[in-house]
Amino acid sequence: MTREEIRKQIRDIGLIPSIRVASADLAIFAAEHVADGGIPIVEIASTIPNSDQVIRELSQRFPSLIIGAEVVAGLDVARRQLDLGAAFLTGPNFNPEITAYCVKHEIITIPGALTPTEILLAYTAGADFVKVFPCANVGGDKYIRAIKAPLHHVPLVAAGGVTQSTAAQYIAAGADALGVGEDMIPRQALRFREGAWIRELASRFRAFVQQARANL
């Protein structure tokens, strides 16, 4: 897929499930069931053991899955993740070097930022979306609404503490997409390999986003 096609898919779906689990095997399990629940997008956390293996295997087994790699260790790691099959890069912070590389090579990048200054710096550098993280800790949907007032042109991904009860509120406040972790991929669902549970939650979050947009 092209950069524009991936950007459109992220906008249309409005969800980026963040997979941060204890093993490569669990990560692949979670990604498969999130996709089966109607969200063909995942973010693979850098803290997963053998995250390289996860990205490689997912890209081989599920070619239609849009895989994002969380990168916190620098450009060399970013290049490796892309070579293994990642289609976009994310992070909890803004790394100018990684963003410049992505812009040059037509790769989707979603750096993290929190303050208006950080958000605008990341977007001006060429970020496709800016991940507002950790969003819930600084006011949640009210913070997104406040940011969007002066920075209405910046596409934002609300991440960090998004739940079933707050998902629609973030969309109503102006978030273009949501980064969702444990509320979509519960630890108990992973522990007992309850794939149906994850599929149901993925489907439910899709409905939250669609309904919230319909009400705008």
Per-residue pLDDT tens for 91-107?
A: 999 999 999 999 999 99
CATH number at residue 71: 3.20.20.70
C-alpha 71/C-alpha 111 separation (Å) is 9
Task: Average the pLDDT over 94-122 and give the result.
Answer: 98
* Residue listed under structure tokens 């089966």: 36
Q: Is 128 left (phi over 0), alpha (psi -120 to 50) or beta?
A: alpha
C-alpha 176/C-alpha 157 separation (Å) is 6
* Residue listed under structure tokens 């939650």: 201
Write out pLDDT tens, residues 31-63. Answer: 999 999 999 999 999 999 999 999 999 999 999
- Angle subtended by helix axes 75-84 and 96-104, to nearest 10: 40
Please provide residue 125's backbone torsions phi and psi, each rounded to the nearest 5 degrees: -75, -10
Tell me if residue 124 falls in helix, strand or coil. Answer: helix
Q: What is the mean pLDDT of the chain?
A: 97
**Residue 119 pLDDT:** 98
Which of the four pLDDT bands, split at 50, 70 and 90, describes residue 24? very high
Residue 192: CB partners within 8 Å, gap ≥ 6? none
pTM: 0.97
Range of the domain at 207: 3-214
Write out pLDDT tens, residues 174-200. Answer: 999 999 999 999 999 999 999 999 999
**Nearest CA-CA partner of 206 in 147, 164, 161:** 164
C-alpha 4/C-alpha 2 separation (Å) is 5
**Residue 10 pLDDT:** 98
Domain count within the chain? 1
Cβ burial 142-177 (10 Å sphere, 16+ → b, else e): ebbbebbeebeebbbbbbbbbbeebbbbbbebbbbb
**Residue 139 pLDDT:** 97
